[in-house]
Structure formats: C-alpha cells, structure tokens
Structure 1
Amino acid sequence: MPLGLFGNKFSPKKTPPRRAQSLSNLHLDATESKAEFGLDYGALKVSLGGNQVAFENGLWITETGGGGSSHKEVTRLRKQNQTLHEENNFLKLKIDILLDMLAEQSAVSHFHENEVRQLREAKLGTKKR
C-alpha cells in the first residue's frame, strides 16, 4: 500500500504559534511588585470557633478568646508548671538523700547491737568459768 494514501501516522502535527504575553508585570518597581504579587502579607491570622489566633515569632498567640485562655494566662501557667516540676525534682532528691541517711544509720545501729550482744556473750562466758 502506498504511504501517501493514509499519510504518515508518526509525523506530529505542527503546534500553532503562541500569542505574545503581556510583559507589563516585569516593569514594576519593588513596591508595586510587592502589592501585585503579595510578598508583604503581614501576620497570619486564623479564626476558629470564635477564637482568633495569630502566628508571630514562631508561636501561635491568642488574640480573642471565646471561652479559651489568654496567651498571658497560658504563659503564666506554663511558668508555674515548670516551677512545680523543678520543686518536685528537688523534693525527690531530698527523699533519696534522707533514705540513704536512714539506711546508713540503720546499718550503724545494727552493727552496734551486734557488738553489744557479742560483748554480753563474752562477759557471760567469762563469769561462768
């Protein structure tokens, strides 16, 4: 069969030329490009269930509260929680030290009791002779 009859299946069609794009946005100065492309977006704010929070300096800060705690109260509670953890660790350390002291005194007491018992037995043993 001749190729001319059906045409060449594998030759791609030519694409139509593209229309010229507007280059007007390339001629903007810095302030216009910020306004045009949104590079200066400010603080990120989100409102969920009546509570509005803002993302500032890497932290979510509550701006309005619909029954939730304020940022100051949360910060105060975190500081108090940290203080209580430190106090708890200090008290655990004190208990460990007191238990060590008690074990030492108990060992000394048992040693003295055994020594007194041995001396009494030795004294009684010499009297019977």
Structure 2
Amino acid sequence: MPLGLFANKFSPKKTPPRRAQSLSNLHLDASESRTEFGLDYGAVKVSLGGNEVAFENGLWVNESAGGGGSHKEVTRLRKANQTLHEENNLLKLKIDILLDMLAETSAVSHFHENEVKQLRETKLAGKKR
C-alpha cells in the first residue's frame, strides 16, 4: 500500500492565525464601560402567572396589581395603618388619664361637700345649746 493514501487523511489542517483584538474599548470611562459591558443591569423582574415581581433591596416585591395592589401601595397602607394604631393608642391613654382626673375631682368634691355638711351640723348644734 502506498504511504500517500493515508498521509493526508489523518494529518490535521492548520488553522488560520487569529486577528488581534481591538484595544479601542480601553479608553472608556467608568460609566461608559458599565453601559458597554452591562454592569448596570437594573432591577431583576420576573413574570409568573400574571404576577410580576422584582428583586429590590434583597426582597422579592410584587409589582402587579393582580394580587390586590402593588407593593408600594401595600407598604403605604401598612404605614398609614400603623400611624392610626399609634394615634388610637394615644387617644385611649388620654381618655384613661381624663377618667382618672374626673374620679379624683369627684372624690375631692364629695369630700368637700361632706366637710361643709359636717360644719353646718356642728354650727347648728352649737346654736341650740
């Protein structure tokens, strides 16, 4: 068998040399390189079953209105609810204080009425003698 038959079949072809990469992107400043290379990717958003959620500040936040309202609206309502609870507790405390003051004033008033009554009785008893 001649050697030339198998020689070309098993020898790999040489690959052409690669072109040198352009170094033109080295002159970009930080903001341009973020834009160019995708470092500012924004919020991660996922849509599942008609509900859209976004990853913000380490939490998954519901952004679609399908679940009863957006996360921002729910957060706003929770803050308003908390404020109203605090105001309600303050008003209950004020009512308790006013009731205590009323009880104290009533007790003092009854004491003075009894004292006046006793003084009148002693004055009348002294005139009769």
TM-score (norm 1): 0.58
Distance in 2, Cα, partners of 1:120 & 1:78: 63
What is the SS of the residue equivalent to 2:66? coil
Higher helix fraction: Structure 1 or Structure 2?
2
Aligned alpha-carbon RMSD (Å): 2.1
How many residue pairs end up in the alignment? 87
Distance in 1, Cα, partners of 2:125 & 2:95: 44
CA displacement, residues 31-55 of structure 1 (integer Å, 9 cap, x when unaligned): xxxxxxxxxxx847462x4222234
Distance in 2, Cα, partners of 1:74 & 1:59: 15
Identity of aligned residues (%): 78
CA deviation after TM superposition for structure 1 residue 111, in Å: 0.8
Distance in 2, Cα, partners of 1:122 & 1:60: 82
Is 2:121 aligned against 1:121? yes
What is the SS of the residue equivalent to 1:69? coil
Gapped regions of structure 2 (runs ≥ 5): 1-42
1:104 equivalent in structure 2:
104
TM-score (norm 2): 0.58
Is 2:89 aligned against 1:57? no
CA deviation after TM superposition for structure 1 residue 114, in Å: 0.8
Distance in 2, Cα, partners of 1:51 & 1:65: 8
Gapped regions of structure 1 (runs ≥ 5): 1-41
1:5 equivalent in structure 2:
none
Distance in 2, Cα, partners of 1:81 & 1:60: 22
1:72 equivalent in structure 2:
72
